[in-house]
């Protein structure tokens, strides 16, 4: 969202609420995207771990807790 702003609205926002608030909002938006990607990666790793564990249990005849 903030990536598409031109300089004039950005300067107006800084003038209205201050640079720290605008910067914090920008960083929160950027971090949200990265956190979503990280959450997806963690979910994939959990899924892969469960599949690997179940394959090992089937081949060994053991059950890991």
pLDDT value of position 36: 95
Q: Among residues of the chain, what percentage have pLDDT more than 70? A: 85
Q: At what angle do helices 7-17 and 19-60 cross, to 10 degrees?
A: 100
Examine the pLDDT at 64 and tell me if it is beyond 80. Answer: no
User: Cα(23)–Cα(40) distance, rounded to whole angstroms?
Assistant: 26
- Stretch 4-11: mean pLDDT: 80
For residue 6, give the DSSP letter: -
Of residues 61 and 47, which shows the higher confidence score? 47
User: Cα(14)–Cα(20) distance, rounded to whole angstroms?
Assistant: 8
């Amino acid at each position: 969202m903030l990536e598409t702003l031109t300089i004039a609205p950005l300067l107006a926002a800084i003038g209205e609420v201050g640079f720290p608030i605008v910067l914090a909002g920008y960083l929160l938006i950027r971090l949200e995207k990265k956190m979503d990607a990280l959450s997806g990666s963690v979910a994939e790793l959990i899924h892969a771990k469960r599949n690997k564990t179940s394959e090992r249990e089937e081949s060994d005849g053991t059950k890991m807790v």
